[in-house]
Every structure is written in structure tokens, then in C-alpha cells.
């Protein structure tokens, strides 16, 4: 049978703002969506994958195939042709293995077909959604004259600008089937990278939003469906967490409690205590829970 690894993650409470450079007039805007009938802010899976790749690069002696260059503000490539994948035992990079790739070329002459090298991501990531609705908070700011080369090019007046912000937590999920990896030990490295995410929902590098998990629920199972995505809720506007729907699914028999490893803030809540009583492995810390999943992967792969 095939082993699948799923997880649902919720961050600490923090102040999120635009991290992608979009503006409306002189106001930086947050990405939003309607979630269960209310406006929530959201962070793309691509932003989470970008930060994950940076951690993967630091975990491999050979680095990643694609690396963000802060000096040139572009990506540097080691093997843009993905040559290693043409051979069964060819050398491959951890980011290509986990996050996939696509390289498409148009036909060189009319009437000929184009070509594409494509690998689907093994580590799948959902869009992150704020745990609480966005109340519309916007701050007013003013850059002092000459604060940047582009600010107040004429005169001595401050340059006003606005920023949409959201004090909240974000939750998102991942899915991964280690058997699909060229090297199965990369699954554990992916989980360690996710457990240590940082700058995902900050603002242009000006301030930090800690995107590491405050609570996490892993599921190691032969069931191909996650059945736990977006399972976190909050009874008090994000101050504390709950996972009532997850408890219900365990009680219903849709999820076997022995497949669950829970870590972080949820451990001391009523939901965490209920999951422990039902047979889940509940740990106080994120690192301990992540290591427990890595140990299960190693045991199955041995």
C-alpha cells in the first residue's frame, strides 16, 4: 500500500501585510477572497513554496536547482535543462523533486510541435486563508522627504501612503506521497522546511510575519484523501484554537486517530485533549511532532 502524508497548519497570531508589491493608488493592498460568506485575506501557495525552497537550499550540500539572487533580484539556475531526470539514476535536485518544474519551448518552425519538460509537484500546498475575517484595517503612513531616492523628488513635504494590514493567523495544508519522489528521504526534509517557515506574509522585507506553525496536525495514512484541510477554527477571534470538525471526523470513523500526530498549541485545548483520548499522538511542540512524522517515514521506508 502507498503511504500518504497530509498536514494542516496554522500560524501564530501576527500582523500581515502586502508582500508582493501590488498597490492601488498609494495604498498597498492585501489579497482577499470570500471565505464562508465573509472577506478573508489570503496568501498564495506560490509564496509558501518560495520560502520552502529557500530552506531546502540550506539543507542540501549541493543546494537547489533554482536559487533566488537577492543582489540581481532574479533566479539563478544550476541545471535549467533538468538533464538528470532523463536517466533513472541521474542526479536531480531536491527542489525539482519536491516542487516540480515546467520548461516549455515553442516550435522552431511553422507546422512543428513545441516541446515541454514537466514534472508535477509531489509536495502540494494549498492557499493560506486567514483564520478570522478581515475588518478592513488600513494604516496611514508618511515617508519623510528624501527617505528614498524616489520619495519627494520635489519640495520638502512628507510622502503619504497607506497599507492594508490584518492582525490574524493563517491556515493552510500540504499533501505528499513519498513514493513519488526520486529520493524518498527528501520527504522528511520537506516537513522540516515547512516546520521552519518564516518570511511569507510580511511586507516588502520591512517587517516579519512568523509563518512557522503554531499548531499542526499530521496524518500518515494509506487513505488517498486528506480529510483534514482547513480543520482549525477559533472560538475567540484567533486568541485560541479549536479543531472540532477534525474530532468529529475521527469519531465518525473517516479518520483513524492512530494516523494523527498533533503538535503545538492545539495540544492543551479541548480538541487536543479529545484527540488524545481517541488515540492520536499529541505533543506539546511543533518540532517534536515533526520529528515523530519523520521517524514514521523512516520506519516505513526502511
Q: DSSP letters of 68-126?
A: EETTTTEEEES-TT-GGGGSTT----HHHHHH-EEEEE--SSTTS--EEEEE--SSEEP
**Dihedrals phi, psi of 233, to nearest 5 degrees:** -135, 180
Residue 223 predicted with pLDDT over 90: yes
Looking at residue 153, its pLDDT comes to: 65
For residue 140, list its beta bridge partners.
Answer: 162
Q: Which of 219, 216, 294, 301 is nearest to 259 (CA)?
A: 219
Cell of 108: 522552431
Residue 19 predicted with pLDDT over 90: no
Residue 90 CA to residue 180 CA, distance in Å, equals 16
Looking at residue 2, its pLDDT comes to: 92
Cell of 270: 479541548
Is residue 110 packed enough to be buried (19+ CB in 10 Å), middle (13-18) or exposed (0-12)? exposed
Q: With b meaning 16 or more CB within 10 Å and e meaning fewer, what string describes 273-286?
A: ebbbebebbbbeeb
For residue 160, list its beta bridge partners.
Answer: 142
Looking at residue 105, its pLDDT comes to: 80
For cell 488515540, the residue is 279
Looking at residue 151, its pLDDT comes to: 65
Top mean-pLDDT range of 101-110, 197-206, 280-289? 280-289
pLDDT digits (tens, 9 = 90+) for 65-102: 999 998 998 999 999 999 999 998 899 999 999 999 99
pLDDT digits (tens, 9 = 90+) for 114-139: 778 899 999 999 999 999 999 999 99
Determine if the pTM surpasses 0.85.
Answer: yes
Averaged confidence pLDDT in the chain: 92
Looking at residue 203, its pLDDT comes to: 72
Residue 194 predicted with pLDDT over 80: yes
DSSP string, 264-296: EGGGGSHHHHHHHHHT-EEES-HHHHHHHHHHH
Residue 12 CA to residue 231 CA, distance in Å, equals 16
Amino acid at each position: 500500500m502507498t503511504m500518504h502524508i497530509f498536514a494542516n497548519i496554522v500560524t501564530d497570531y501576527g500582523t500581515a501585510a502586502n508582500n508582493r508589491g501590488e498597490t492601488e493608488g498609494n495604498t498597498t493592498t492585501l489579497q482577499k477572497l470570500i471565505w464562508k460568506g465573509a472577506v478573508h485575506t489570503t496568501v498564495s501557495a506560490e509564496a509558501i513554496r518560495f520560502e520552502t525552497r529557500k530552506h531546502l537550499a540550506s539543507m542540501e550540500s549541493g543546494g537547489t536547482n533554482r536559487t533566488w539572487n537577492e543582489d540581481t533580484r532574479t533566479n539563478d539556475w544550476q541545471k535549467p535543462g533538468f538533464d538528470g531526470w532523463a536517466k533513472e539514476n541521474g542526479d536531480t535536485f531536491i527542489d525539482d523533486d519536491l516542487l516540480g518544474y515546467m520548461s516549455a519551448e515553442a516550435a522552431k518552425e511553422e507546422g512543428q510541435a513545441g516541446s515541454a519538460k514537466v514534472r508535477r509537484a509531489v509536495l502540494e500546498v494549498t492557499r493560506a486563508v486567514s483564520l478570522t475575517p478581515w475588518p478592513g484595517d488600513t494604516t496611514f503612513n508618511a515617508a519623510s522627504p528624501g527617505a528614498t531616492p524616489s520619495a519627494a523628488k520635489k519640495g520638502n513635504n512628507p510622502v503619504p501612503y497607506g497599507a492594508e494590514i490584518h492582525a490574524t493567523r493563517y491556515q493552510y495544508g500540504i499533501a505528499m506521497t513519498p513514493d513519488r519522489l526520486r529520493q524518498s528521504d527528501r520527504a522528511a526534509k520537506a516537513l522540516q522546511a515547512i516546520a521552519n517557515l518564516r518570511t511569507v506574509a510580511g511586507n516588502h522585507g520591512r517587517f516579519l510575519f512568523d509563518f512557522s506553525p503554531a499548531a499542526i496536525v499530521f496524518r500518515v495514512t494509506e487513505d488517498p484523501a486528506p480529510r483534514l484541510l482547513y480543520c482549525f477554527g477559533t472560538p475567540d477571534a484567533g486568541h485560541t484554537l479549536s479543531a472540532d470538525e477534525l474530532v468529529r471526523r475521527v469519531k465518525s470513523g473517516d479518520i483513524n486517530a492512530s494516523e494523527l500526530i498533533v503538535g503545538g498549541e492545539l495540544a492543551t485545548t479541548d480538541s487536543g485533549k479529545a484527540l488524545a483520548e481517541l488515540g492520536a499522538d499529541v505533543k506539546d511542540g511543533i518540532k517534536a511532532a515533526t520529528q515523530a512524522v519523520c521517524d514514521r517515514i523512516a520506519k516505513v521506508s526502511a
